Amino acid sequence: MPSDHEQETQAHPSRRSQREARSTSSRLWIAILVTFVVLVAALIVVAVKVASTHTKTTGKVAALPGPPGPPATATSHTGAICPLTGQPAPGGTIPARPALAIKVDNYSAARPQTGINHADIVFEEPVEGGITRFVAVFQCHGASLVGPIRSARLVDVDILSQLSDPILANMGGIPPVISAIQNAPIIEENMLGLGQVIQRNYNRVPPYNTYASTSALWGLQTSNTTAPAQLFTYSNTVPSGTPAASVHVPFSYASDVTWNYDPTTHQYLRYYNGTTPAMLSDGTQISAANIVIQSVRVTYGPWVENSLGGLEVVSHMLGSGPLTVVRNGVAISGTWQRPSLTSPTVLTASDGSTIALQPGNTWVEIVPNTVTVTTAP
């Protein structure tokens, strides 16, 4: 008589088949797992041997393969770089247009100004009467409105001739200054004869009510599609220097400028008389990633610039002179050098290395060498 086990087997032959199938499947998975472990161990041995060989032949430790990194994003920045900011060009392409310089007033009655935070570089120049004027230079980015726009000065020739034949938009100037600009590698656009691009702000009194958009001004030179050459060197690596949370540039009683560092935004914020924020018409404060303080020799004349007898302020920007670059909360001392009118200004640290600016917008303070600039930690 069959045993209970035999009876179960005879009565249910399918159960035996199922048990045998499960046993076979288990053995198969164990074999696969063992094979996988052996392969991983072999790969590790090979990688170690490669690293060891690399170390023996080069003296450097080779990096072992790691997991793949995250997919590339917009922050990878592998495209074109703006020549006047060191930042990635919008859309990955440098705009096919020249540098555009716009003369902007900085007399107290001209404040608040409009649009200059969109400029790649702003040069601040001393003019007659102890005031300063701005040369706002645009290339990668533009602004829907910039101003108030005022007249040119002789120093504009020295400032702009290093920018690869830029456009200069101004509201005229005395004849010898206009003649000098027209004989320089600069494309002058005198807005006194360009009513089609002028936008008036009738809530302001003349001459502080003249504005224009950068698109309208570039539209005057549509055949000029050449971008400027790079002016400065840029790097995200902060050079060694002394702490500089604040820099004071006392041009005069009318333009007593202080820049205070904001570590949150890595920007310097502009103030007048130490405590008054320098605001723009859109409610934002004037700010810059870099402050380049260029100490220059200044002479006066021979021309009279205004009805009060103020002489032309001539800043000499060729040759060399003392320099302080302020970025990322540090000040780097050195020398500026420029051998010719069309040569870029080279910023050299005291150890002979080129001073790199932080990618972003820059203010160049053209300071008479009789003015003492101070930084504070």
Say how far apart CA 254 and CA 252 lie, in whole Å.
5
The domain segmentation of the chain, as residue ranges, is 90-221, 242-306+318-376
Say how far apart CA 145 and CA 7 lie, in whole Å.
98
pLDDT digits (tens, 9 = 90+) for 174-225: 999 999 999 999 999 999 999 999 999 999 999 999 999 999 999 999 999 9
pLDDT at 306: 85
pLDDT digits (tens, 9 = 90+) for 132-160: 999 999 999 999 999 999 999 999 999 99
Q: Which CATH architecture has domain 90-221?
A: 3-Layer(bba) Sandwich (3.50)
Task: Assess whether pLDDT exceeds 70 at residue 284.
Answer: yes
Say how far apart CA 362 and CA 376 lie, in whole Å.
20
3-class DSSP assignment, residue 197? coil
Q: What is the pTM of this model?
A: 0.79
pLDDT digits (tens, 9 = 90+) for 224-278: 999 999 999 999 999 999 999 999 999 999 999 999 999 999 999 999 999 999 9
pLDDT at 308: 86
pLDDT at 307: 83
Q: Which of 54, 34, 35 is CA-nearest to residue 46? A: 54
The answer as to CATH 3.50.90.10 being correct for domain 242-306+318-376 is yes
Is-same-fold flag (90-221; 242-306+318-376)? yes
- b/e string for 77-89 if b means 16 or more Cβ within 10 A? eeebebbbbbbbb
pLDDT at 79: 78
